[in-house]
Structure 1
Amino acid sequence: MKQIFPSAVSWWLFAPLLVLLLGSTVFAGLEQSWLSGLTMLAALGFTIWLIRSTYYEVQPAQQLLRIVSGPLVWRVRVADITQVEKSHNLLSSPALSLDRLKIYYGKYDFVLISPADRAGFLAALLTLNPAIRHD
C-alpha cells in the first residue's frame, strides 16, 4: 500500500512572498490594470497550489518514489537510491522547507525533498531498500 508524506513547510519562507503577491494584486486592482492584477493573481494561485500539492509518495508495489510538486513529477526507482542525508541546501527543489533530505540515486543524480515525517519517510524507503546509506 502506498504511503504519502506531505512536505514540511517553512512558512517564514513563503509568508513574505504571499504578502507581496497579495499586496501587488490588490494594488494592481486599485490601478485598474486588469492585466497586472490577473498576472499577480495567477502567480499567487500558482504559489498556493505548490504549497498545497507538494508531497512524496512511496509505492511499494512499483518499488517507486514519486515526488509531486504542482505540475512537476519525479519518479525514482527505490532500488536506484544509494544514500539519504540531511541537508539545508538552498537549491531549487520540490521541498517547501530548508530542513531537507538529499536523496542520491543513479550514478550522479540527487533530489532535495522535505517530508514532514522524516523518520517515517526514511523507514518506508529502508523497508524497500535496506542498502540505502543514511545519517
Structure 2
Amino acid sequence: MNRSIYPARIDWGISLLFAGLAILSFGMGIVCFFLTPPTYIGGTLLLLTGALLQSIWMGTYYKIDEHYVRIQCGPIWWTVPLEHIFSVEKTSSVWLMMGGPHVRLALSKDGLMIRYRSHPKQKWFGLFDPSVLISPVDRDQFLEAIKSARPDLTFTPDGNLRLKES
C-alpha cells in the first residue's frame, strides 16, 4: 500500500480564531521588544505562542501508511497502529472538540473518531477505549483507505467502520 496524505478540514470559525490569536501574539510579541524597558522573555514567549498556533492551523494532516495512521497537528503527532483499530465513526459535534475522553486533533466539527486498543483490557484510566478525533477533508475517502488497509473492518449501514463480529 502506498502512502496516502489527507489534509485536515478546518472550519472557518477555527481558522478565524487561530489566525486572529496568532496575529495578536505576533504583534504583542514584537511590541514587547520596543517597550521601555524591553521585555525579551515576554516577547519571545508571545512569538513562540504565535508560531505554535500558526503551525497547528496550517500544519495539520493525516497519513495512512502500511502499518499506521499518522496524525500531525503542528508540532503534536499521534500514531495509531492499523491493526489495533476496531471502530471508525463519523462525528459532527462541536462538543467533541472541547471535551471527552479522547485526543482531539481535529480542526472541524465534522470529523472521524478512531477507537483502538492493543488488547481487550486496555482502557484509558480503566474506563475508556483509547480514541482520537481527526477531521480529514474527505471523510469517505479516508474511511475507504482504512477499509482497504484493514479488510476485516466492515461498513455499517450509517457509513461507519466496525470490526466484523466473530
* 1:48 matched to 2:54: yes
1:96 deviates by: 2.0
Matches within 5 A, 1:1-135: 1-10=2-11, 11-31=15-35, 32-59=38-65, 62-87=66-91, 88=93, 89-90=96-97, 91=99, 93-106=104-117, 107=120, 108-130=129-151, 131-133=153-155, 134=160
2:123 corresponds to: none
Structure 1 unmatched runs, 5+: none
8 Å contact from structure 1 (residues 4, 57) kept in 2? yes
**TM-score in terms of structure 2 length:** 0.69
Larger radius of gyration: 2
1:14 deviates by: 1.6
1:84 and 1:18 mapped to 2: Cα distance?
32
**TM-score in terms of structure 1 length:** 0.83
Structure 2 unmatched runs, 5+: 121-128, 162-166
Q: Considering Cα pairs closer than 8 Å and 6+ residues apart, tell me whether 1 or 2 has the greater RCO.
A: 1
- Give the count of matched residue pairs: 133
| Alpha-carbon RMSD | 2.1
